Amino acid sequence: MPKSSLTLSSSVRYLKGVGPRKEKLLNSLGIHSVADLIFITPRTWENRRISKDFLGAQIEHRAFAVRILNTKEESRAHGRFVVFQAEAACDHPQAPRLSLLWIRRRSRFDVFGKLRLEIRPGAAVFIWGKIEPPRAGSAGNPEVSIEDYEILHQGLWPAGSPHWNRLAPVYSSTTGLAQRELRRWRFEALDLWRQARVWSWPQELRPLLPQGVNNAAWAYEKIHFPETLDEKSRARRSLAFWEMTLLGLAMEQRRQKLMAIKKNWPLTEAGSGSALFNRLLLGLGFSLTESQRRAIDEILQDMGRLNPMNRLLQGEVGSGKTLVALAALCHAVSAGYQCAFVAPTEILVFQHAMNFRRLLEPLGIRVGSLTSDTPAKEREEILEELAGGALLVVVGTHSLLEPEVSFQRLALIVIDEQHRFGVDQRSMLRRKTVTPDCLVLTATPIPRTLALALYGDLDVTTMEELPLGRTLAKIHLARSEQEAWTALQECLALGQQAFVVVPAIEDEDQGDNLTKVLIRLRQMLPGISIASVHGRMSGRDKEEALLTFHRAQAQVLAATTVIEVGIDVPRAAVMIVLSAERFGLATLHQLRGRVGRGESRGLCVLVPSSEALNHSRGPEGELLFTNGSIFQNGIASESIMRLRRFSGCRNGFDVGLLDLELRGPGDLLGKEQHGNFSIRHFDWSGDQDLIAPARGMAQAILSRDPSLGCEPALRHAVELRYGTNYAMNELS
Ligand code: ADP
Ligand code: MG
């Protein structure tokens, strides 16, 4: 392809120096088109400016321009390494002479062939490497271990080099792709980028930009090759604002779509609903918390409106969200409408169904439950009753989303533990009936400003309070499995119950699994009754196992994460999670919430797999875990760091934020979004001040141009991130 016809959407294979092999490697980094080179921004920057700044006492990376005086080669460390050494003149005041070292492992090949040709007396060279500061009183020259160099031809400084005398970007890479190449291709891509002139804010909206925020076009250029560190941080903030505005555009369009919809049955007559709920409360033996009362008020108001409710109810594990949802359910049911309660796992469906039956059947309300395990005949009956309107309340898993499930007059959908459900599922359910109210429950709440930005199409209620006297279980990050077993034995000795959770059922891999742990537990705990439950058991067997544990006929329940959410066993005091690094943070938080629901405070012991622990050993093989506070001086593996940060979380808010920071908002906007493409530059803790202005910008843009018809570039940018159907056009 001639260079002139190369565009931002061309494949990278048309770039100079990219053959089939490098194309594959680039693809593996997520780089397919020339534009991807721009969107994938540097991991860090090296300050390769030649400066005469003072050399400190620390070893540091520096760039110098030097002239070679003489060279020699030698062996070191018992001949395992070979060193190419050059003495060079430099015009740094503290280092007029430098000793340059290229150190390589000895090899059959001549590793210094090229150096010998290039690094010759008289050559002018740029160098980048680690300098050992000059030692006071030492006669030797300061030494520099060279990491990159370039010969200056005719002694000329190359103007505008992507590599030298500047802040040089460093990209995530893979074996076979050099930073030099990655930089050079960016340079070419940025030429096209400048010509394309995309992504500038319309002139009259520029006053809405927060201080220091600039166009995305400018920011994408400067984030790769900033002139100064300050410019780099302004570029990053600008991109953070840009991302939040795109998210705002997607959310706002979606919200407006939803607002325009009228629902079929506004439930205005609140009277009978509260009467029914009050009767339910009478049977409970406790009163609502203030938070619960407020949440119920908000929800009932929503249900009385003409447009459908889209509300997120955030509240700590154990804050009693189910009861709030039951209030909404009573409201719908007493007016003769249907209600679907969707839960992420079969076990939770089973538990909710059991609970709801206990509470609702005495009031004359039948409760159906539907999972993939429901026997065919029973399923048939339930489907018929739902379609005919004879059954008002159904609890189920994803199977409620299947096309053959239809309702006669579905007025309310409750989705428990939202982190398992993306927007896609929500809209799928909505399509089932005309437009029911929708209530989403989550135990990993996030701050209101963030929630508004991320779930802009939802209203948010937050319950801060836990029922009286309850606290979240303590977390202990264990250094060995033994610590967990000790805790387990202490708990059993007190007559309490415990969970042991593992990531797998059988030996799918080397790690902890249910089969192994059951053998272990039976050996360790003779005379203790142990139940077990996992996803491949039939529904009946699962129920049986859970009931055994519920009735305290078993002291230990060993399980896979089928018990993740919602299991409520008051006497369970200890939760042990093996191979803990293999669980998501929201899952771990749920597990933590499973224990200590009775009188005593629970304990949640996280045991990393031996593999993860092995990755956290210091240079001498010592475990970088001391005195309960780990990694005082070592680098722990990323997975353990994640657990460590999790164990510092005081509540669901902390977990919600940490999860956002580590994982991004995931599939909040549906499956089309790839990876974490939408939010890369936004800093979850430091950029919250950008959220409101970004929403303002999005609203201003849409008020001029509701479907972005006149802003094709912006529309394209939103679609690039959130998929072509981000505005839920399927609803129109
Ligand atoms: P979550 O918000 O995690 O879903 P649940 O709804 O499962 O919490 O409630 C946890 C436990 O607290 C349940 O046993 C429930 O019956 C109980 N509960 C709910 N509301 C209250 C309250 N106001 N006072 C005391 N206990 C309550
Ligand atoms: Mg719950």
Ligand 1 pocket test target in 288, 317, 319, 322 with most atoms within 8 Å of CB: 322
Closest residue (by CA) to atom 26 of ligand 1? 467
CA of 321 to the centre of ligand 1 (A): 7
199 alpha carbon, distance to own chain's centre = 27
CA of 348 to the centre of ligand 2 (A): 9
> How far, in Å, CA of 727 to CA of 732, rounded?
10
pLDDT at 450: 74
> How far, in Å, CA of 560 to CA of 170, rounded?
41
For the chain, list residues with pLDDT below 50. 420-422, 432, 565-566, 621-622, 625-635, 667-676, 729-732
Where exactly does CATH 2.40.50.140 map onto the chain?
49-165
Where exactly does CATH 3.40.50.300 map onto the chain?
474-649
pLDDT at 2: 55
CA of 288 to the centre of ligand 1 (A): 9
> How far, in Å, CA of 142 to CA of 124, rounded?
19
CA of 732 to the centre of ligand 1 (A): 39
How many residues can be counted in the chain? 732
> How far, in Å, CA of 223 to CA of 273, rounded?
57
Q: Which CATH architecture has domain 3-45+175-195?
A: Orthogonal Bundle (1.10)
Closest ligand 1 atom to Cα of 570:
14
Pocket flag, ligand 1, residue 281 (CB < 6 Å): no
Pocket flag, ligand 1, residue 445 (CB < 6 Å): no
CA of 707 to the centre of ligand 2 (A): 38
pLDDT at 633: 36
Check: CB of residue 245 under 8 Å from CB of residue 679.
no
pLDDT at 635: 45
Pocket flag, ligand 1, residue 461 (CB < 6 Å): no
* Residues paired with 95 in a beta bridge: 92
Q: Which ligand is nearest to the CA of 324?
A: 1
pLDDT at 350: 80
Pocket flag, ligand 1, residue 273 (CB < 6 Å): no
CA of 322 to the centre of ligand 2 (A): 6
474-649 CATH pick, 3.90.1300.10, 3.90.1150.10, 3.40.50.300, 3.40.50.150: 3.40.50.300
pLDDT at 571: 82
Nearest to 325 by CA among 395, 237, 239: 395
CA of 281 to the centre of ligand 2 (A): 18
Closest ligand 1 atom to Cα of 315:
2
pLDDT at 109: 83
- Looking at domain 49-165, what is its CATH homologous superfamily? Nucleic acid-binding proteins (2.40.50.140)
What are the C-alpha distances in Å from 271 to residues 194, 280, 296, 304, 437? 64, 15, 14, 12, 18
Q: Which ligand is nearest to the CA of 465?
A: 1
Closest residue (by CA) to atom 1 of ligand 1? 318
Handedness of CA 282, 284, 285, 290 (dihedral sign): negative
Where exactly does CATH 1.10.150 map onto the chain?
3-45+175-195
Indicate the Cα dihedral angle 84, 85, 88, 92, nearest 10°.
100
> How far, in Å, CA of 41 to CA of 221, rounded?
10
**Cβ < 5 A residues, ion ligand 2:** 566
Answer yes or no: pTM beyond 0.75. Answer: no
Check: CB of residue 512 under 8 Å from CB of residue 503.
yes
DSSP string covering 625-688: EETTEE-SSSPPPHHHHHHHHHHT--SHHHHHHHHHHHHTTTTTT-TTS-TT-S-SS--TTT-G
Nearest to 609 by CA among 488, 484, 438: 484
pLDDT at 543: 79
